[in-house]
Amino acid sequence: MSPRSARSPEPIDVPYEPPQLARANGIDICFDIFGYSDAEPMVMIMGLGAQMIHWDDDFCRELASNGFRVIRFDNRDIGLSSKMAGGKPFTLYELAKLRFLGTPVSAPYKLSDMATDVVALLDVLRIRSAHVVGASMGGMIAQEMAITYPERLRSLTSIMSTTGNPRLPQPSRAVSLLLLKPQPTGYEAFLERFKQTWLFLRVGSFPDDEARDIDRAERTYARGLSPAGVGRQLRAILASGSRKERLATVTTPTLVIHGKIDPLVHPAAGRDTAASIPGAKLMMVDRMGHALPISMWSLVIDAISRHAHGAKLQQPLQVNARRAG
């Protein structure tokens, strides 16, 4: 499926509740909300080392305008949420032992703990169930929610994520080095790394996004960096293992969205995710890497919205219905 032509998003006027802290699952979680209070709740879960603002403000406003109360938040160990303790920086040596010897990775917490964070946040907000959208690591957390807390999900959308199946193609050495390279904490060095990282992840030229990268980097820097927290999140991913077999128990209506040229999470991971969840729909997107460029927002938002609004009408299916480009 091909994205629509590039365009700069027009401002959309929806109610906005500014950032605040919620005490949930024993930690402080920073969140904000776009949309009307009586709209269907939709919680957005970001990926490894990514603050909640990586769900762009305009992306959230556009999604909210489709009839949702959009809740985004900082995962533990990132942004303005609580920072944890423990865990050494992950090394290529540990990665090699994991891949070739199956040596377990130690971690202060796992993805299941992060899934419980989300459920606890919903409890604080007095939301019985919500549509759940997760990107990359956020998709893994959302999958854990669907496995362990199925009653809390109205629908599941897993974007550029994976089941953790060890048989799937793994990131190249170059990508692994990028992930494990220490994050600079100096202002200028951070801005340059931010730009280079997103150029790599988007794969190709996306002028609208490139024009925003400095502003996005400055905003991220101003909210605070947590290199050790990113390392603990990476450990949580690797220590949590595969969800493939457990995903067979998921009954939540599921949509899987994945880029055909994702350089970080191989496109096979998207297909594997859809194949592992009964009744899941799969949308493979042309020219999409490991990012959500502005030119693809309408396509992705439309898919999420149609899926969520249609979830109440869906029944668990026996086979996967796939929509591919």
Annotate the chain with three-state secondary structure.
CCCCCCCCCCCCCCCEEEEEEEEECCEEEEEEEECCCCCEEEEEECCCCCCHHHCCHHHHHHHHCCCEEEEEECCCCCCCCCCCCCCCCCCHHHHHHHHHHCCCCCCCCCHHHHHHHHHHHHHHCCCCCEEEEEECHHHHHHHHHHHHCHHHEEEEEEECCCCCCCCCCCCCHHHHHHHHCCCCCCHHHHHHHHHHHHHHHHCCCCHHHHHHHHHHHHHHHHHCCCHHHHHHHHHHHHHHCCCHHHHCCCCCCEEEEEECCCCCCCHHHHHHHHHHCCCCEEEEECCCCCCCCHHHHHHHHHHHHHHHHHHCCCCCCCCCEEEEC
pLDDT tier at 175, thresholds 50, 70, 90:
confident
The per-residue pLDDT for 93 is 60
Strands 68-73 and 16-24: unpaired
What percent of the chain is predicted at pLDDT more than 90?
80
The per-residue pLDDT for 91 is 67
For 110, the token pair is: 């796992």
Q: Quick one: which of 53, 109, 122, 106 has its CA closest to 76? A: 109
Q: Partners of 68 in the beta sheet?
A: 40
Query: What structural domains and CATH numbers belong to the chain?
Result: 16-324 (3.40.50.1820)
pLDDT tier at 98, thresholds 50, 70, 90:
low
The per-residue pLDDT for 324 is 35
Strands 27-34 and 16-24: antiparallel
Count of residues in the chain: 325
Sequence-separated (6 or more) residues with CB below 8 Å from residue 172: none
Q: What is the mean pLDDT of the chain?
A: 90
State which amino acid sits at residue 187: Y
Q: Is the pLDDT of residue 146 over 90?
A: yes
What percent of the chain is predicted at pLDDT more than 70?
88
Strands 130-135 and 27-34: unpaired
**What separation in angstroms does the CA of 95 have from each of 139, 170, 267, 285?**
22, 11, 21, 30
Q: How far apart (Å, rounded) are the C-alpha atoms in residues 152 and 141?
A: 13
| Single pTM value for the model | 0.91
The per-residue pLDDT for 104 is 77
Label residues 119-130 b or e (16+ Cβ within 10 Å = b). bbbbeebeeebb
Q: Partners of 158 in the beta sheet?
A: 134, 256
Number of CB atoms found within 10 A of residue 256's CB:
28
The end-to-end CA distance of the chain, in Å, is: 3
For 231, the token pair is: 């390392």
Q: Which of 44-58, 133-147, 165-179 has the lowest mean pLDDT?
A: 165-179
